[in-house]
Structure 1
Amino acid sequence: MANTTARKLNEIPRSAVGRDGVLDVAARLFREQGYGSVSLRKIAEAAGIKAGSIYYHFGSKDEIIAAVLDTGIRAVHEGMSQAVSALPEGTGAEAILRAAIGAHLRALLDVSDYSSANVRIFGQVPQSVRDANLHARRAYEAEWDNLLSRLQADGALKRDVDIRRLRLMLIGALNATLEWFDPHRGSAEALSRTYADVFLNGILERQET
């Protein structure tokens, strides 16, 4: 049986789209339509290939989803890490946090279908797929925790701030922009400045005492 299956897979012609092309199409569809509405057949049609050709690159829909989720997290992680690392020595805490917030939002809203798809379908996919993505997800969370902890140790963040809760609130708020952000009514950069202003400076006017 295994030999028969292998022979059938070998008979499937290589697609000109290729593995990365299939993933690009799948990421866009998952971002736009969610997990349940996207089938292998729909991915194949959008990629302009036969449904069977997908099996040359992937064994199942869940295998495609796992690759999309991992790529999405890595895109955000790398963008945030590079933005912070590129800052000059001695950059202040506010500029560091503004760079990190801006990089996260750009990855979601301007750069990658993968990162947007990750946020939108993570809660919809089977538990086994979520579990497989946890390593990459935890690595990005650790990047934020390390950054915030370092700023707290340097005295830039209040000592009583709970780093984990702050990270959850911050990333949760940034990810939620996918549900309402309209690029025709503003840029990701402008939105990034607004978020940074609120998180770093608050919303209430200081009252004279």
Structure 2
Amino acid sequence: MAESATRRVSEAPRTAVGRDGVLDIAARLFREQGYGTVSLRKIAEAAGIKAGSIYYHFGSKDEIVVAVLDVGIQVVHDNMQQAVSALPKDTGAETILRAAIAAHLRALLDLSDYTSANVRIFGQVPQSVRDANLPTRRAYEAEWDTLMSRLQERGALKPDVDIRRLRLMLIGALNATLDWFDPERGSAEALSRTYADVFLNGILERQDT
């Protein structure tokens, strides 16, 4: 799943029927319409197949949803991990965090129906679906926690910063951009620089006392 996720996001949704084709179409429908209004029949119609054919690949709608959620998170995870891993070992904390923020936003805003669907429908799905998606979600959260804890141990982050709360605030703010981001009014790269400036430098002017 993770290995094919990054490849799929660079392609247009396929019309050929198959497991990946069904997922591509489902991700687009969930992104556009949400969880509740998208049925197996609607996915099948969009794929140009009979509803029963989906059962060759998935046992239920929620099984499709779990797969879409997993791919959506894995794409962002892979993008962020690769961006940070590509940096030289002696890279400073600010550059590392800027790279991680930019990679998250790029994957979220530029790459895929999966990433957008994940953010849009996660709050709409049954608890059983959330539970099934939890390992993938927790793995990405742990990636951020590990990164920021390492920077904190190096003295780059303040020792009293709560890593978990910082991660929740940061990822929550980045994910919320899906609700209002307009590529015609600016790029994801420019937005990532603005967000990084705020998170790393604050918003208040320092004044001498």
Structure-2-length-normalised TM-score: 0.91
Q: How many pairs are equivalent?
A: 195
Q: Deviations over 1:104-158 (max 9, x none)?
A: 1111100121111111111111111100000111111100000000000000000
Runs of 4+ in structure 1 deviating by more than 2 angstroms, as ranges, are none
**Which residue in 2 is equivalent to 1:23?**
23
Match of 2:94, as an amino acid?
E
**Which residue in 2 is equivalent to 1:130?**
130
**Which residue in 2 is equivalent to 1:77?**
77
1:52-201 matches, cutoff 5 A: 52-201=52-201
Deviation at 1:53, TM superposition (A): 1.4
1:2-13 matches, cutoff 5 A: none
**Which residue in 2 is equivalent to 1:11?**
none
Match of 1:116, as an amino acid?
S
Match of 2:166, as an amino acid?
L
Deviation at 1:59, TM superposition (A): 1.2
Please, what is the CA RMSD of the aligned residues? 1.1
**Which residue in 1 is equivalent to 2:11?**
none
Structure-1-length-normalised TM-score: 0.91
**Which residue in 2 is equivalent to 1:12?**
none
Match of 1:24, as an amino acid?
D
**Which residue in 2 is equivalent to 1:7?**
none
Deviation at 1:32, TM superposition (A): 1.2
**Unaligned segments of structure 2, at least 5 residues:** 1-14
Deviation at 1:208, TM superposition (A): 3.0
Q: Which has the larger radius of gyration?
A: 1
**Which residue in 2 is equivalent to 1:203?**
203
Give me the whole-angstrom Cα distance separating, in 1, the residues matched to 2:16 and 2:52: 14
